[in-house]
Amino acid sequence: MADKYWWPDSEYIAFWPQHIPRKVTLECFIAAFETLRYARCESEEYEDGFEKIAILVDPYTTKSTHVARQLTTVQWTSKLGQSFDIEHDLREVCGQIYGTVGAVMKRDFAQKLPL
């Protein structure tokens, strides 16, 4: 996942699971990450043994805008489009461009799929 550019509706060549609709909606993003054994959770707080992601949405249109992956208790990582990865506090990417956290998902490290 981390080495591929994922996006459902893109002018770029992007990966997206075949049976998930290519729509930029929170529901489609949740379904896409469920294919990687992520499940919705209530908290973005760090949990030892789990990998978490935050799906950001535009608060006005509810379209998905971005996904960040948790690294540590305070650090998250994001890919800037097809560009490089950055490390940040989750709230540093929230705002006018990426919006707000629409959903948090997690998976057990023991269930991590090979890519």
* pLDDT confidence bin for 99, thresholds 50/70/90: confident
Output the six-digit token pair for 64. 């998905």
Q: What is the pLDDT averaged over residues 59-80?
A: 89
The pLDDT assigned to 83 comes to 74
Output the six-digit token pair for 48. 């030892």
Continuous segment of H or E residues that includes residue 77: strand 76-79
One-letter amino acid identity for 87?
Answer: E
- Delimit the domains of the chain by residue range: 26-110
Q: What is the pLDDT averaged over residues 78-107?
A: 85
Whole-model pTM: value is 0.86
The pLDDT assigned to 96 comes to 81
* pLDDT confidence bin for 15, thresholds 50/70/90: confident
